[in-house]
């Protein structure tokens, strides 16, 4: 039975694109194999589910048929014929014939490759995407900054330029596949014998072998190392926001395409201000008499700028005083800021003199 992608991500079938994206980020971070307690197999399924449900066309096919079809139609991306293919609706396709197991995807892929002229396939193992977390302060999120980060990953070998061999000594034709990059295997199936075409495991589909493999990377073309990347963090960035740096992830094997880098921004909590999207919240201590007399109450905003507010008449101290354009910058909108909301903590004297008490009693009568 095919996996339930909605169940894997923990969302309903009515989930929006944003809900699916949030569920993926949360689960991918939790089960990433590089993390303590990570689960490589579950992480793989989470990625598979997201690749389908984040694509409108694939999601539509999945919702209708319970699986996704390849561009050629008729065959599912899960490696088997589509439901009801070939006039056999509901037929229980099985890949178990005696003790021999085989992959339907390989069978039909090799079948149609004969009509494509048997073009040699070259395999270059691409690098994986990398996710790192970067913590910044609320002040840095307000100003924006350029940040240099470093992380350990697989980098292209400098000795061989990422090729995996000595370019000066050249290449020779692979003796196993005779330079085709593919080998033929016979498979016994329900329909009879099929000749399967598979990538040559000796030359990895290239059809050529080096005369001299790189002694540093062992012919892989990459080694473990520390990568440094500078990123721009724009003003107004929010906690949990992703920054994508194309091609800055893990380098591929033997010149394969590099993966992308995803930087998750974590904005540290602030001792004075709290944040909700673009708005900031602060509690300011003031004397009751200053508030009642409408005196200026001075403090700093998140930029460090000094300013003052006055408590308006008839103000309900259970409410918050809104100060426009004193919050965080609105991400991607230059010059626009959110609002600041001020709560007042009224400070009362510990002791009242006889004179002060008499004044308050007179004030109470007056009010």
Binding residues: 157, 160, 174, 177, 200, 203, 214, 217
Asked if residues 53 and 20 have their Cβ atoms less than 8 Å apart, the reply is yes
Asked if residues 277 and 238 have their Cβ atoms less than 8 Å apart, the reply is yes
Asked if residues 228 and 148 have their Cβ atoms less than 8 Å apart, the reply is yes
Q: What is the rounded CA–CA span in Å between residue 259 and residue 207? A: 25
Residues pairing with 278 in the sheet = none
Binding residues for Zn(2+): 157, 160, 174, 177, 200, 203, 214, 217
Residue in 242, 31, 52, 22 with CA at minimum distance from that of residue 11: 22
Residues pairing with 344 in the sheet = 284
The token duo for 194 is 């099929």
Q: What is the rounded CA–CA span in Å between residue 101 and residue 105? A: 12
Tokens 């984040």 correspond to 54
The token duo for 134 is 């970067």
Q: What is the dihedral of CA 217, 219, 221, 224, to 10 degrees?
A: -30
Count of other CB atoms within 10 angstroms of residue 147: 16
Q: What is the DSSP letter of 61?
A: H
């Amino acid at each position: 039975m095919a996996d339930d992608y909605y169940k894997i991500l923990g969302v309903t079938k009515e989930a929006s694109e944003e809900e699916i994206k949030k569920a993926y980020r949360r689960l991918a971070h939790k089960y990433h194999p590089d993390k303590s307690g990570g689960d490589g197999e579950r992480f793989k399924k989470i990625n598979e589910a997201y690749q389908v449900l984040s694509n409108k066309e694939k999601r539509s096919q999945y919702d209708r048929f319970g699986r996704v079809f390849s561009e050629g139609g008729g065959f599912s991306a899960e490696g088997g014929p589509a439901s009801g293919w070939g006039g056999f609706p509901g037929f229980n396709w099985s890949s178990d014939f005696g003790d021999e197991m085989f992959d339907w995807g390989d069978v039909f892929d090799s079948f149609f490759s004969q009509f494509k002229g048997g073009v040699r396939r070259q395999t270059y193992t691409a690098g994986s995407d990398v996710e790192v977390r970067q913590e910044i302060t609320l002040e840095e999120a307000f100003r924006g900054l350029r940040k240099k980060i470093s992380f350990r990953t697989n980098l292209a070998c400098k000795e061989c330029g990422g090729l995996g061999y000595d370019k000066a000594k050249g290449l020779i034709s692979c003796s196993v596949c005779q330079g085709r990059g593919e080998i033929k295997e016979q498979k016994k199936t329900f329909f009879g014998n099929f000749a399967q075409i598979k990538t040559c495991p000796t030359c990895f589909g290239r059809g050529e072998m080096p005369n001299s493999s790189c002694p540093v990377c062992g012919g892989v073309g990459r080694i473990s190392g520390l990568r440094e990347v500078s990123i721009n963090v724009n003003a107004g960035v929010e906690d949990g926001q992703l920054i994508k740096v194309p091609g800055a992830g893990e380098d591929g094997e033997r010149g394969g395409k590099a993966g992308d880098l995803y930087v998750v921004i974590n904005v540290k909590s602030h001792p004075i201000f709290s944040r909700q999207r673009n708005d900031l919240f602060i509690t300011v201590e003031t004397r009751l008499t200053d508030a009642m007399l409408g005196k200026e109450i001075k403090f700093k905003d998140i930029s460090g700028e000094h300013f003052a507010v006055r408590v308006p008449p008839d103000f309900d101290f259970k409410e918050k005083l809104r100060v426009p354009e004193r919050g965080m910058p609105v991400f991607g909108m230059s010059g626009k800021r959110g609002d600041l909301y001020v709560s007042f903590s009224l400070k009362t004297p510990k002791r009242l003199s006889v004179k002060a008490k008499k004044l308050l009693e007179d004030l109470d009568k007056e009010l």
